[in-house]
Structure 1
Amino acid sequence: MFNIQKCFVAVCLIATIASAQARDYRYSDAHLHLVDFFQESAGVSKLIEAMDAGNIDHAMVSGIPVAKKWHENEPKRPRYYAGDDAPVYWYSATDVIIAAAMEELDEQQRKRFHPFLSGFNPNDKNAATHIRRMLELNPGLWQGIGEIFTRHDDITALTEGDTPRANNEALAKVYHLAAEFDLPVMLHSNLTSKRERNPLYLAELEEPLRNHPHTRFIWAHAGTSMELHRHQEELDFLLPTVTRLLDDYPNLYIDLSWTMLRPYLLDKDDKPRAEWLELVERHPTRFMLGSDVVGRFDSLAEGMQAFDPFLDGLSEKVAHRVARENFLEILPAKR
């Protein structure tokens, strides 16, 4: 009898694995930058090729709100924002580049893209006025705001001017405007610094969640970054923090882009971690996937498909929601 039970369990496990392997995921990329930190891009036609190759039906597309300076004293142009000590500066023309790229597309292609407006200084109380002007210049184009850079480790250190905070006055005006136009806001706000092993900056995120209940916030990478991982590997307080915030704030959504994949969603053997599966199942409409690619798209398909082992651990309906539908349903056109 015991052996029969073992065989039955084994057959059930094999059936579950086979069912997961048979899933045909279609994706929405909820976090994609058409340009890099020099405001350059492989182009929207290359992006479409990469999306088609990776079963990516839809993509949030934004610029980069800062540009990297090639300093007079540097003989070689840096290849990335962290390539040297030259600063980055706020760059509003990034949105003009996005708008121009969208104009290149025919009507069917255009439906696949969901532009977010990001080219403003989040320390400037004129930012909301600028955003309103951009919305009026291109009516119907913009479907969200962000990625807004606030706490962002090395980018913060290199940015000219004051450090932006998610709870400053300038951004409060932006959040009010987002609610007025029914636009989701993608916010990058690191949960902590490179060395503090506690949620040091949590209050900066939680205050706007509490004070702007009619604004939908997408928390980029759930407050993590690769630089944090280099110094701390895994934030042991991340899961309980995200759990509480989701329970307390129905206007919060989580972008599971690449810095969340390891060590949080998958273990060292690329197996899905049960505690994160459980959290997503509890909040099946609140998580979405993103590649966070910047300007080049060769790795796009591989980056999105890297989430498949985690998706396979979810119930099939929830897996498809996370892979594709949740991002689309947060957009104003779906509401």
Structure 2
Amino acid sequence: MPNARSCLVALLALTALQCQARDYRYSDAHLHYVDFFQESEGMQRLVKEMDAGGIDHVMISGIPVAKKWHEDEPKRPRYYAGDDAGAYWFSATDVFVAAAVKALPAEQRQRFHPFLTGFNPNDKNADAHIRQMLELDPGLWQGLGEVFTRHDDLTALTYGETPRANNEAMTRIYHLAAEYDLPVMLHANITSKREKNPLYLGEIEEALRNHPHVRFIWAHAGTSMEIHRHQEKLDFLLPTLTRMLHDYPNLYIDLSWTVLRPYLLDAKGIPDPKWLALVEKHPDRFMLGSDVVGRFDDLGKYLASFRPFLDALSDDVAKKVARDNFLAVLPRKGAGVAP
């Protein structure tokens, strides 16, 4: 008779083999076709990387701002934070995305889910502009965002006041999103770089509470790389999300970039059991994203970096998080068409 220890070792080995045998197909729920200078490697490169990385579907959007190369700067910046020059709201980003998607063959187009993002979230005219764009291309746009509110130094560099998730302009946009059954991907930092408390949480909670018919995708779960440079880990994030997912059935979480580490995986790459339990409890509410901006060479590698976390989930939940949850949040009545 084998002892208990040998049985446990055998069980763990069997589990490891089952995990290794999993063949994930992905949806990238957070991808920017262009960078902060509105430049891109192009659709041909993107499709190639999707095929290589097992990525069946992507949310594809532009970048709603353009970084300025200031007269006083001798070298063109490489990123929005490269110097002190400002950024400005840039509506033509949606034109670039629409043209790229429309140029695809029909069998490829169905893999792409364009989100409209080229509007100023402080402007109460924005909802009228969005409506015009939706009517100009009926059926093209399948969501709104990524909408930049409370975005670290970027919103400080962008001309005009800092957008809030609960301002009047965004309220008008949410009503339009509900009318067209469009999900809204919202970048709304949960706190500032220095404050070790959920300083801005009330802004997104007000939006969630007042617009229950809008499906909100919270980009990076309210975190950012800039926050983590000053605060390595937000201890209040997990309990806050646990409560919010219970309170707001219209909240969905994008796990891209700054959530993978230090939250889902520790420094040794071991999945956090508390995050695993939260995802298992809400198996339809989490999705993966790369958040790449105009460059696609690491696309498949980035989504594959979630494998240790996915492998620790039950098989059906892992496949939902990897691929299906993003597709489920898209318009149910036809992309970007008002009922």
Q: Match of 2:216?
A: 217
Q: Match of 1:167?
A: 166
Give, in whole Å, the separation in 2 of the partners of 1:334 and 1:290.
24
Give the aligned residue type for 1:56. Answer: I
Matched position secondary structure for 2:185: strand
Q: Match of 1:251?
A: 250
Give the aligned residue type for 2:301. Answer: E
Give the aligned residue type for 1:42. Answer: E
Give the aligned residue type for 1:123. Answer: N
Give, in whole Å, the separation in 1 of the partners of 2:107 and 2:247.
39
**1:5-40 CA deviation, whole Å, 9 max, x = no partner?**
111111111111110111000000000000000000
Q: Match of 1:54?
A: 53
Give, in whole Å, the separation in 1 of the partners of 2:193 and 2:73.
27
Give the aligned residue type for 2:272. Answer: R
Q: Match of 1:117?
A: 116
2:43 aligned with 1:44 = yes
Give, in whole Å, the separation in 1 of the partners of 2:76 and 2:59.
29
Report the alpha carbon displacement of residue 334 of structure 1 after superposing the two structures with TM. Answer: 7.6
Give, in whole Å, the separation in 2 of the partners of 1:251 and 1:25.
26
**Conserved in 2, the CA contact under 8 Å of 1:266 and 1:272?**
yes
Q: Match of 2:81?
A: 82
Matched position secondary structure for 1:332: coil
Q: Match of 1:72?
A: 71
Matched position secondary structure for 1:318: helix
Give the aligned residue type for 2:77. Answer: P
Q: Match of 1:96?
A: 95
**1:153-210 CA deviation, whole Å, 9 max, x = no partner?**
1111111100000000000000010000000000000000000000000000100000
Give, in whole Å, the separation in 2 of the partners of 1:154 and 1:124.
20
Q: Match of 2:317?
A: 318
Give, in whole Å, the separation in 2 of the partners of 1:180 and 1:27.
29
2:284 aligned with 1:285 = yes
Give the aligned residue type for 1:38. Answer: F
Q: Match of 2:13?
A: 14
Q: Match of 1:239?
A: 238
Q: How does 1:101-180 map to 2 (within 5 A)?
A: 101-180=100-179
**1:56-87 CA deviation, whole Å, 9 max, x = no partner?**
00000000000000001111110110010000
Q: What are structure 1's unaligned runs of at least 5 residues?
A: none
Give, in whole Å, the separation in 2 of the partners of 1:248 and 1:90.
33
- TM-score scaled by length of structure 2: 0.97
User: What stretches of structure 1 move > 2 A for 4+ residues in a row?
Assistant: none
**1:75-116 CA deviation, whole Å, 9 max, x = no partner?**
111011001000010000000001110111011100000000
**Conserved in 2, the CA contact under 8 Å of 1:328 and 1:334?**
no
Report the alpha carbon displacement of residue 44 of structure 1 after superposing the two structures with TM. Answer: 0.7
Give the aligned residue type for 1:230. Answer: R
Give, in whole Å, the separation in 2 of the partners of 1:236 and 1:17.
30
**1:234-267 CA deviation, whole Å, 9 max, x = no partner?**
0000000111100000000000001101000001
Q: Match of 1:303?
A: 302
2:60 aligned with 1:25 = no
Give, in whole Å, the separation in 1 of the partners of 2:101 and 2:16.
41
**Conserved in 1, the CA contact under 8 Å of 2:181 and 2:332?**
no
Give the aligned residue type for 2:151. Answer: H
**Conserved in 2, the CA contact under 8 Å of 1:122 and 1:148?**
yes
CA shift in 2, pair 1:85/1:223, >3 Å = same
Give the aligned residue type for 1:89. Answer: Y
Percent identity at matched positions?
71
Give, in whole Å, the separation in 2 of the partners of 1:302 and 1:151.
29
Give, in whole Å, the separation in 2 of the partners of 1:159 and 1:204.
20
**Conserved in 1, the CA contact under 8 Å of 2:90 and 2:118?**
yes
Q: CA RMSD in A?
A: 0.9
Q: What are structure 2's unaligned runs of at least 5 residues?
A: 335-339
Report the alpha carbon displacement of residue 333 of structure 1 after superposing the two structures with TM. Answer: 4.2
Give, in whole Å, the separation in 2 of the partners of 1:334 and 1:79.
41
Give, in whole Å, the separation in 2 of the partners of 1:77 and 1:145.
30
Give the aligned residue type for 1:326. Answer: N
**1:288-331 CA deviation, whole Å, 9 max, x = no partner?**
00000000000101100000000000000000000000000100
